[in-house]
Amino acid sequence: MNKNKICERIKQVLADAPRNQYTAELYLQMIKYDNDLRNITAKEFCEGWLRSSFGAEFNKMCNLTRCLKAVGLNPKHLSRRFKR
């Protein structure tokens, strides 16, 4: 999946997330799409739709996802958490 499709899907999910859960949902989506995001830089991920400060969060989640996968997490089992 290309960067634009991933970002559009994540935007849709974030639009449904309660305001106080926005960042948690963003983290969950970054874990879910880890395989598709591997060749995308933090700057590219944030470009045009997220504050650049989320670039640091993007890098942290990439590192955390590698650790989670090492202990058995399967991102394919993650789904949307919030509904309006």
Q: What digits encode the pLDDT tens for the residues 58-71?
A: 999 999 999 999 99
Q: What digits encode the pLDDT tens for the residues 9-48?
A: 999 999 999 989 989 999 999 999 988 998 899 999 999 8
CA distance 3 to 83: 24
At residue 83, the pLDDT reads: 52
CA distance 33 to 30: 5
Cβ 48 vs Cβ 5: under 8 Å: no
Going by C-alpha positions, the residue among 11, 1, 5 that lies closest to residue 54 is 11
Residue 49 has pLDDT above 80, yes or no: yes
Cβ 16 vs Cβ 84: under 8 Å: yes
